[in-house]
Structure 1
Amino acid sequence: MKKKILLFTAAALMAISLGACGKKNDDTADGKVELEFWNHWVSDGGEAKFFNKKIKEYEKNNPDVKIVQKNISIDDYTGTKLTTAFATGDGPDLFSASPGTINTFIDSGINYPLDDFFPKEVREDYSKESIKDVTKDGKIIAAPFEQDLMALFYNKDMFEKAGIQPPKTWDEMTEAAKKLNTDKVAGITYDLTKGAYGNFSFMPFVWQGDGDFFDGKKSTLNSPSVIQALTLWKKMVSDKSANLKPSRPASDVGILGDGETAMWIGGSFGIKALEDDYPDMNIGVVPLPIPKDGTPTTVAGGWKMVVNKQSKNPKEAAKLVRTPSIGQ
């Protein structure tokens, strides 16, 4: 399966200069080093629960360190929240960054170099691709902590009741969405908002038609493969089988777990949340459907952790992110 990473986004065009400002934090009253960690997951979601557990383990093993998490909604987080914070001198010690936004911070010189914290034995704990994704000009610029593949998740019980099989093609997917759509349940949910995750969700559908967004010199947004994918997106909006007003961000698999939608285009990050929060739901997952004569394709994403070089304690922050388990 072809896998690609989104390397840039419109956010990279922002005119704010980020490199000169950083977190002006102090240690706690009891002398502990306090690290402020900003991220994009919901406070009661699967990722938050995982990191809360790992942070407690880290603090137990490192009693001189206190970690304060700040959970920010995905829309605000991938908007201007971080860039504004750094521009005003209120940036965190470390933060999560998406493949679509990380270059904004790297190009502005925000990141603290991590080479000294990733010796060979530590790098061996990661896949080669994940290390490659955070290496620029031979230097490690961030720490990978997840790799996500997009797929189609579906409610097995709803499909069985409707007498249909999981879709393999675009036509089958649109027909299933129409058939499963009701006044109470959306046929399908995918991100329709402007932002990095919306781009991330849309990209494999362009690649399935052997197209891309750039040819190395200019935009190819008017190419047949892009138009074909946009037409697919618009078709499910026009026939109202798409979830136009989801109860939460479309990246939240709880939309599927709570029965709000019959199908959900999302990442493998949703599996953990389904196992933890919806163990009794009968959920299936299949590869993304493809167009006629299309190529099976997904996108491999994965957020990274970036250490702010303006932090008062960048070395402590770097130690926190250097292992996959974050528990040492």
Structure 2
Amino acid sequence: MSALSSSNWDRRSVLRAAAGLAALGPLAACGGNTGREGGGSSGKSLVQYFHAYGEAGTQEAIKRYAKAYDEARVTTQWITGTNFESKLFSSLLTDNAPDVFEFHPQLQLIKSGQVAPLDDILGPVKDDFNPADIKSHTVDGKVYGVRMIDDPQFFFYRKSLLEKAGIGVPQTLDELAEAADKLTTDKVKGLFLGNNMTSTNYALVWAAGADQLNDRNEIAYHTDDVAAALKTYRRMFTSGHLLLDAPADYWDPSALVQGLTAIQWCGMWAMPVMQKSLGDDLGIFPFPSAASGAEPAVYNGGWSMFVNAKGRHVDLAKEYVKWLWIDQ
């Protein structure tokens, strides 16, 4: 599979920036200013929580959209570092909890009544969403949360290095292991799966023809094919052909861009940096088949926006979420 065209990516990046999906680098949170002093035409205020994204240009976008909302003063708090979840959960127990926040679908938040159902704002546009996103946010027939980002993850590679080694794009997991072997030199490792090799867990199971759970919510990945795929991973780990100590983990494209590896698992969020650095030398392919008859797999990551059902202005918060993530 060839690299995506620059025109396609430019359109996607513009849309994402316009929607304010990400933040630029580490930003200080808003400190003691909760933004509840009043604002907008309603005289009311809302607070939204985001973790600090690493993509350029969207810090300004999210603030611009928040400022443009006429019905309330919207204050954004960017949570830096790796403590977003703990800071969010501790905040939800206080009077200064956010009115809206990003997170992942979690049954505990729903069962505890922490997040509000959003069927009234999502109902008319449910068919516009990926069915899997609606399903993953639905409990007892009600939909909780608006999926903001669908970010698929792939293997990205240097075309010139594969051509020099005389190998094609791997179609199976065994071929990926062979490619890692042939691409490894005294200066470049053949493959980067992340520093702890856990970033591809879901994709590996799917590519082996299995799943995490079955229809009865029972473990479904204890199959011979998944075991065989894990043995291949073990063989790659001990072979010396994997990059295991990169300065940044898989989510950062620097390992590929700086020539530390020939193939790297990463996400679409890193495409602008990779395309700018590698141009036409950049290629992309899904997680290859890991069992006979199994299909290649793509892991779709992302974030969703939730409304705090215990907040002060639940209806206004829902209207803001509708305005920002549906109307816009």
Same-fold call, TM cutoff 0.5:
yes
Deviation at 1:327, TM superposition (A): 7.5
Distance 1:309 1:246, change over 3 A: farther
Question: What is the match of residue 51 of structure 2?
Answer: 39
Q: 2:99 aligns with which of 77, 93, 106?
A: 93
1:253 alignment counterpart: 253
Which residue pairs with 1:137 in the alignment?
Answer: 140
Q: Tell me what 1:14 maps to.
A: none
Q: Return the offset for 1:107.
A: 3.2
Change (3 A) 1:139 1:220: closer
Task: Confirm or deny: 8 A CA contact 1:152 1:285 kept in the other structure.
Answer: yes
Indicate the residue corresponding to 1:113 in structure 2: 117
Which residues of structure 1 form unaligned runs of 5+?
1-23
Q: Distance in 2 between matches of 1:314 and 1:272?
A: 37
The Cα of 1:141 is off from its aligned counterpart by: 0.4
- Which AA in structure 1 matches 2:163? E
The CA deviation at 1:285 is: 0.8
1:27 counterpart = 2:33: no
User: How far apart are the structure 2 equivalents of 1:294 and 1:210?
Assistant: 8
State the 1:284 CA deviation.
0.9
**SS class of match (2:65):** helix
User: One-letter code of the match for 1:95?
Assistant: F
Q: Matched residues, percent identical? A: 26
The CA deviation at 1:147 is 2.2
Q: Secondary structure, in 3 states, of the residue corresponding to 2:157?
A: strand
Cα distance in structure 1, aligned partners of 2:165 and 2:96: 52
Aligned residues of 1:212 and 1:226 also touching (Cα < 8 A) = no
Please give the alpha-carbon distance, in whole angstroms, between the structure 1 residues aligned to 2:327 and 2:257. 29
Q: Cα deviation per residue 1:8-36 (whole Å; 9 max; x = unaligned)?
A: xxxxxxxxxxxxxxxx9451477672423
Give the direction of change, closer, same or farther, for the CA distance of 1:239–1:91 in structure 2 (3 Å limit): farther
Q: Could you say which residue in structure 2 is the equivalent of 1:3?
A: none
2:24 matched residue in structure 1? none
Contact 1:153 1:283 in 2 (8 A): yes
Task: Output the amino acid matched with 2:292.
Answer: D
Runs of 4+ in 1 over 6 A off after TM superposition: 29-32
The answer on 1:67 being equivalent to 2:55 is: no
Residues 93-124 of structure 1 show CA distances to partners (whole Å, capped at 9, x for unaligned) of 3332235xx3342233221222232241x435
CA distance in 2, matches of 1:294, 1:186: 30
How far off its partner does 1:153 sit?
1.4
RMSD: 3.5
2:36 is paired with a residue whose SS is coil
Structure of larger gyration radius: 2
What is the SS of the residue equivalent to 1:319? helix
Deviation, 1:139, is 1.6
Cross-structure match for 2:3: none
**Higher mean C-alpha deviation, range 306-315 or range 26-35:** 26-35
Superposed, 1:1-328 pairs within 5 Å as 25-28=34-37, 33-39=45-51, 41-42=53-54, 45=55, 49-50=57-58, 52-62=60-70, 64-73=72-81, 75-77=82-84, 80-87=86-93, 91-98=97-104, 102-120=106-124, 122-182=125-185, 184-191=187-194, 193=196, 198=198, 201-215=200-214, 216=216, 218-219=218-219, 222-272=222-272, 274-275=274-275, 278=277, 280=279, 282-298=281-297, 299-322=299-322, 328=328
Query: How far is the alpha carbon of 1:217 from its aligned partner?
Result: 6.5
Identify if the C-alpha distance between structure 1 residues 63 and 254 changes in structure 2 by more than 3 Å, giving closer, same or farther: farther
1:254-313 deviation digits (Å, cap 9, x = unpaired): 4333433321223444435545x5474621111221235141132344321122223334
Task: Give the structure, 1 or 2, with the largest relative contact order (CA under 8 Å, sep 6 or more).
Answer: 1
Stretch deviating more after TM superposition (134-143 or 160-169):
160-169
Q: TM-score, normalised by structure 1?
A: 0.73
Provide the aligned length of Structure 1 versus Structure 2.
292
Return the alpha-carbon distance in structure 1 between the equivalents of residues 234 and 88 of structure 2.
31
**Deviation of the 1:237 alpha carbon:** 1.7
TM-score under structure 2 length normalisation? 0.73
- Residue 143 of structure 1: how far off its partner (Å): 0.3
- Helix, strand or coil for the counterpart of 2:265? strand
Cα distance 1:85–1:191, how it changes in 2: closer, same or farther (>3 A)?
A: farther
User: Which consecutive residues of structure 2, in runs of 5 or more, have no partner in the other structure?
Assistant: 1-32
Deviations 1:192-245 (A, max 9, x none): 549xxx36x212222222233445365456431332232222222212322222
- Whether the 8 Å CA contact 1:39–1:95 is kept in 2: the answer is no
Using the TM superposition, give the Cα deviation of residue 317 of structure 1 relative to its aligned residue in structure 2, in angstroms.
Answer: 3.5
- Counterparts of 2:184 and 2:196 in 1: how far apart (Å)? 21
